[in-house]
């Protein structure tokens, strides 16, 4: 691999670690809510309060993602959006860990975590899509979702170790898990500070020399650097002269509006697969078939470990077989797993209140692992890949912010409703997720376009819009023809005057 490509991979991997924030935090609360010390510390919160804690986190993410992420990213750079978000996560960690025995303080800390992540996360896919070479963009973006699994892996294994030593740790069996949340944002702030800014951001701010310097670091071929710089300049010039930017531009162009609707539904679908509920409530779900909290936390830890391996499947499939292939196969596999798990638990002897047999518990855990096998490389990694690559520069930050926060909006509803639904209906809830995955298969089949190996600046044409590079070239050609015609007309007029 050439030196420039190696550095492109490096900086993209650094930025992709931002997703560890999301993976660790979403798994942290799932882990700590099983702690007896946490429940005693906050006076045994019920299902509705548990739902409110998760809702505060997601609502914070939605508001920050829509209102603050894009303005910071557009005005100060993609790196600064990530850094600001990480600083807020650090502050929130101290609040949620050291709050007095008042659930309100813990909820406030969770909301602040959501705000920090809402600012940082949309900037990551934007940066990677603008730095990564087109031929390996999908492969690189797959590591974005893998780092969610890395975050889950860390949270679950740290929690498992704390659970095994719960007696000696006391309240620190959950506070230790919380405090380890500081590790990722500190590392991200340090490493991202030394990465180059996006060349597209530099050109958008009339810093051409900085753009050439930044792109030269991640490309080996000088001619390719000049060609990409030229394409970016023409595309941005076309967008500046012919279309607006910002949130208002999302609704003016029919092609952009279509992409936004498709992307919002795709991101909502990611949460409706059942993964969002599994990630936040697997402890509660497994309590229906396992009695030992230590066993449940071990299963969560193993699931987090396998999640990393499963996500890696996207790195060799997404650019080979395409985005649609992964979406379709993933939806079928997840539907089968959910429907089978529901049948195994609800149709076998024994009640959930009295506990199911060990074989039912093992079968359920296996099906949840198999669900992750299908989800991680498809609706986990590929949703982020597709979201990060289909929008043009003038609306990319805003569109990614809205689309990614659609995940949080869907998650907020599920987090508020699912714990109550699970408490009353048990594993019958899994039938609902199975049916949703069947519907998602149909949605992708009829509406989602393939974007494999399509250049970022050429993506508009796939969705019925104008190719910004070609349109800029045509506009330039027309301008040159008009100028030539004007010169010829002036020459003729001068000749007539002389005669």
**Assigned token pair, 23:** 């993976």
DSSP 318: T
Alpha carbons 125 and 129: distance in angstroms, whole number: 6
- The DSSP annotation for 33-79 comes to TT-HHHHHHTT---HHHHHHHHHHHHHHHHHHIIIIIHHHHHHH-HH
**Does the pTM of the predicted model rise above 0.85?**
no
Question: Does any domain span residue 220?
Answer: no
- DSSP H helices, 312-357, are 313-317, 323-346
Instruction: Give the angle subtended at the CA of 225 by the CAs of 220 and 227, to the nearest 5°.
Output: 140
Query: Mutual orientation of helices 172-179 and 18-32 as an angle, nearest 10°?
Result: 170
Give the position of tokens 């949130």. 247
Q: Is the CB of residue 269 less than 8 Å from the CB of residue 443?
A: yes
Can you give the residue range of the structural domain that contains 457? 3-195+243-466
Question: Comparing C-alpha atoms, which of 222, 6, 231 is closest to residue 130?
Answer: 231
| pLDDT score for 414 | 80
- 226 within domain boundaries: no
Q: Based on the number of CB atoms within 10 Å of its own CB, is 306 exposed (0-12), middle (13-18) or buried (19 or more)?
A: middle
Residue 371 near residue 355, CB atoms below 8 Å: no
Residue 77 lies inside a defined structural domain of this protein: yes
pLDDT recorded at residue 468: 55
Domain annotation covers residue 133: yes
| Helix residue spans in 165-248 (DSSP H) | 166-169, 172-179, 183-192, 199-204, 208-218, 222-242
Question: Helices then strands (H, E): number in the chain?
Answer: 26, 0
* Structural domain contains residue 230: no
Q: Encoding tokens for residue 429? A: 């809830």
CB 11, CB 136: distance < 8 Å: no
- Give the pLDDT confidence of 145-186 residue by residue, as tens digits: 789 889 988 988 898 888 888 888 888 988 998 999 999 999
Q: What is the pLDDT of residues 122-135, one digit of tens each?
A: 899 889 988 988 77
Residue 393: strand, helix, or coil: coil
Q: Tell me the two tokens of residue 320.
A: 């080979």
Q: CA-CA distance, 300 to 296, in Å (whole number)?
A: 6
Question: What secondary structure letter does DSSP report for 253?
Answer: S
Short-list 88, 97, 86, CA closest to 21: 86
pLDDT at 314: 86
205 occurs within a structural domain:
no
Tell me, what's the pLDDT at 395? 83
- CATH number for the domain including 126? 1.20.1250.20
- What pLDDT, on a 0 to 100 scale, did the predictor assign at position 80? 96
**Residue 241, burial from CB neighbour count under 10 angstroms (0-12, 13-18, 19+):** exposed
Closest-CA residue to 432 (of 335, 328, 348): 335
Q: Counting beta carbons within 10 angstroms of the beta carbon of residue 498, is it exposed (0 to 12), middle (13 to 18) or buried (19 or more)?
A: exposed
Structural tokens at position 351: 């009640």
Extract the residue ranges of the chain whose pLDDT is less than 50: 478-487, 489, 499
As for how many domains the chain has, the answer is 1
**CA distances, 33 to each of 41, 100, 364 (Å):** 11, 17, 21
């Amino acid at each position: 691999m050439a030196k420039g490509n190696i550095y492109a991979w490096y900086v993209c991997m650094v930025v992709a670690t931002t997703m560890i924030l999301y993976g660790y935090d979403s798994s942290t609360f799932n882990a700590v809510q099983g702690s007896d010390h946490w429940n005693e510390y906050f006076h045994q919160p019920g299902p509705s309060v548990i739902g409110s804690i998760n809702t505060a986190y997601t609502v914070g993410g939605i508001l920050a993602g829509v209102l603050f992420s894009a303005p910071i990213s557009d005005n100060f750079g993609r790196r600064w959006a990530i850094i600001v978000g990480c600083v807020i996560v650090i502050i929130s960690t101290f609040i949620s860990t050291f709050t007095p025995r008042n659930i309100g303080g813990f909820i406030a800390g969770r909301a602040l975590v959501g705000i920090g992540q809402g600012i940082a996360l949309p900037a990551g896919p934007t940066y990677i899509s603008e730095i990564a070479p087109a031929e390996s963009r999908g492969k690189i973006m797959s590591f974005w979702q893998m780092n969610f699994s890395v975050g889950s892996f860390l949270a679950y294994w740290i929690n498992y170790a704390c659970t095994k030593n719960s007696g000696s740790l006391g309240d620190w069996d959950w506070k230790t898990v919380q405090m380890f949340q500081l590790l990722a944002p500190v590392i991200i702030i340090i490493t991202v500070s030394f990465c180059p800014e996006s060349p597209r951001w530099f050109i958008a701010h009339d810093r051409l020399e900085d753009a050439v310097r930044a792109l030269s670091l991640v490309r080996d071929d000088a001619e390719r650097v000049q060609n990409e710089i030229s394409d970016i300049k023409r595309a941005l010039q076309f967008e500046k002269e012919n279309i607006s930017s910002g949130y208002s531009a999302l609704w003016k162009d029919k092609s952009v509006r279509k992409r936004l609707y498709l992307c919002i539904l795709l991101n909502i679908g990611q949460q409706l697969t059942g993964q969002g509920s599994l990630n936040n409530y697997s402890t509660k779900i497994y309590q229906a078939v396992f009695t030992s909290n230590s066993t449940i936390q071990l299963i969560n830890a193993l699931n987090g470990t396998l999640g990393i391996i499963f996500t890696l499947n996207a790195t060799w499939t997404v650019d080979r077989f395409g985005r649609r292939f992964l979406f379709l196969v993933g939806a079928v596999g997840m539907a089968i797993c959910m429907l089978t798990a529901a049948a195994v638990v609800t149709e076998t002897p024994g009640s959930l209140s009295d506990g199911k047999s060990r074989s039912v518990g093992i079968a359920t855990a296996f099906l949840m692992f198999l669900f992750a096998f299908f989800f991680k490389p498809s609706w986990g990694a590929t949703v982020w890949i597709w979201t990060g690559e289909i929008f043009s520069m003038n609306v990319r930050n805003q569109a990614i912010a809205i689309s990614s926060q659609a995940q949080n909006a869907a998650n907020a509803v599920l987090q508020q409703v699912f714990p109550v639904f699970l408490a009353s209906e048990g594993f019958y809830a899994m039938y609902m997720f199975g049916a949703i995955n069947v519907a998602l298969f149909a949605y992708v089949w009829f509406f989602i376009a393939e974007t494999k190996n399509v250049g970022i600046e050429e993506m508009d044409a796939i969705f019925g819009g104008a190719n910004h590079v070609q349109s800029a070239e045509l506009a330039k050609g027309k301008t040159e023809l008009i100028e030539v015609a004007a010169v010829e007309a002036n020459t003729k007029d001068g000749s007539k005057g002389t005669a």
